[in-house]
Structure 1
């Protein structure tokens, strides 16, 4: 019998009929498992990715289920500002007047090559952090009163600091360092979003999580040589994390009653866990928030709340 994420998370009896969820990066890996899980619980799921054929397959699987889940696919390249905005527009249209209930910022990856996006920002940082920042900013007014924002971070965030000047250069590029930086940004972003939402008296929650090292997701194939060999070995072990297990914490944060009021926190294995000291630094969180808006060339989201004491 298959272990579904909702069962691992202990929320298999919950029902999400009438609720709308956007799961970015949901044509494969943990994003796909999270999308299928929310569909089985009855949500209308907006599936996102770049591969239309893979996206259609996820939609078909959701709609073939015995529950009331429905789905649609929206393609968007997260390195392109216009495509992220188009995804926000499509989500707004799909959610309608009822609004968006669940936003799972999951899309991202590990990229070996040193390159800048058209914005002049290092590719990993743009795709893994700036794109979800932009998407969330554009959907803030569409989130329901009790919406939940869940952002996929990683334990890889530990041991790093973000040099906000370095993200506009690929000098001395390290693929692993770039990935670490982006995952730290995910944790800081989720925490700062939570702070600003609280300051605005909104009940929307924002949390981040570590999904585990998941050989089956395909991500670890792209690690540097020695690490990828370790990953392949781990994938043959019985305790290796599966995509479904990796998605369980995302589903838990999106659905579980016992975290309905939790916000600004970091989780792993469906339990709260302390992130790194740097991830918890409110000044670093605020600097990242402000600089991200500058890099994107947009107005700072929830800027009126930035004057609150840290």
Structure 2
């Protein structure tokens, strides 16, 4: 029996022929499964990663499929703003005049080493949040009408806050807390993008984030702090732990399903809407993250017209 993401998400009958999708971090894990899924549904998929050999394998698998899907690979290091900009340029050329239909901000990771990028920003925060923020901003004008932006977040976002005055510091570095903060930033970014698109843009573009689940074999567990590593490994033996295909299902659902065509600024898990943490829902924190991210990148703030402090909660 097939266990593809589109089957799990209940969208296997959808057709994406003529649509273009960019899936970042799609040479392995859930990004790879999402890219293959969109290819099977007929999209032209821009596969992204740093490993050209792995990228070529994903492209070959999509191109060799029996459906109409096609693919190309673009390499980019998300710690380098110039390479993110080049990825946006390549995507713009691939999408052409019709624009980009699907942007899946999936690239990211869990990094044990305390280090900064060339911008002087802590590496995890830059790669997991600033890079997709920059990429999305670079591609805003190139998104098609009714395009969808989907950002991979995590339940790890709960229980932490972001000190935007200290994202350049690695003093007392904790790899787990750095990851938590970056995933909180992903949820806040997706929510703020959704609100600003709704208020400042009339193209019907949506933005949502999701938790993919705990995925054994992803390499993530081995990087957790000692006590958490053992507990997480045990989760891999339980029925509710997910495979990469199951982890990609919610991404594909948000990218394709008709029932969420108008959903925006929300957080999902297991193809269902969930409430994120209280901190993740704070509109002032969302707005400050948006503004400070542009400053850190030295770029103009996208969709910069004032946004009201208060927002209606989602039920």
Per the TM superposition, whether the score is higher than 0.5 is yes
Partner residue of 1:278?
279
User: For residues 145 and 154 of structure 1, do their structure 2 counterparts lie closer, same or farther at Cα, with a shift above 3 Å needed?
Assistant: same
Cα deviation, 1:58-113, whole Å, max 9, x if unaligned, reads 00111111100000000000000100000000000000001000000000000001
Q: How many residues align?
A: 309
Please identify, of 201-210 and 13-22, the stretch whose mean Cα deviation from structure 2 is larger: 201-210
CA apart distance, 1:238: 4.2
Partners in 1 of 2:60 and 2:226 — Cα distance? 37
Partner residue of 1:91?
91
CA apart distance, 1:172: 1.1
Q: Verify: 1:108 aligned to 2:108, yes or no.
A: yes
TM-score, L = length of structure 1: 0.98
CA apart distance, 1:222: 1.6
Partner residue of 2:27?
27
Partner residue of 1:166?
166
Alignment partner of 1:280: what SS?
coil
Cα deviation, 1:256-285, whole Å, max 9, x if unaligned, reads 000000000000000000000110000000
Partners in 1 of 2:203 and 2:222 — Cα distance? 40
CA contact (8 A) 1:37 1:251 kept: yes
The runs of 5 or more residues in structure 1 that have no matched partner are none
The runs of 5 or more residues in structure 2 that have no matched partner are 311-315
Partners in 1 of 2:18 and 2:143 — Cα distance? 14
CA contact (8 A) 1:160 1:181 kept: yes
Alignment partner of 1:147: what SS?
strand
Q: Verify: 1:268 aligned to 2:269, yes or no.
A: yes
Partners in 2 of 1:184 and 1:251 — Cα distance? 21
Q: How does 1:208-287 map to 2 (within 5 A)?
A: 208-287=209-288
Partner residue of 1:39?
39
CA apart distance, 1:166: 1.4
Partner residue of 1:302?
303
CA contact (8 A) 1:196 1:306 kept: no
Q: Please list every run of at least 4 consecutive aligned residues from structure 1 whose deviation after the TM superposition is greater than 3 angstroms.
A: 236-239, 307-310
Alignment partner of 1:166: what SS?
coil
Partners in 2 of 1:247 and 1:169 — Cα distance? 33
Partners in 2 of 1:137 and 1:33 — Cα distance? 25
CA contact (8 A) 2:196 2:307 kept: no
CA contact (8 A) 2:284 2:309 kept: no
Q: How does 1:35-184 map to 2 (within 5 A)?
A: 35-184=35-184
CA contact (8 A) 1:149 1:254 kept: yes
Please identify, of 216-225 and 41-50, the stretch whose mean Cα deviation from structure 2 is larger: 216-225
Alignment partner of 2:102: what SS?
strand
CA contact (8 A) 2:214 2:236 kept: no
Partners in 2 of 1:238 and 1:255 — Cα distance? 26
Cα deviation, 1:166-189, whole Å, max 9, x if unaligned, reads 111001111000000000000000
Alignment partner of 1:168: what SS?
coil
CA contact (8 A) 1:215 1:221 kept: no
Structure richer in helix, relative to its length: 1
User: For residues 4 and 307 of structure 1, do their structure 2 counterparts lie closer, same or farther at Cα, with a shift above 3 Å needed?
Assistant: closer
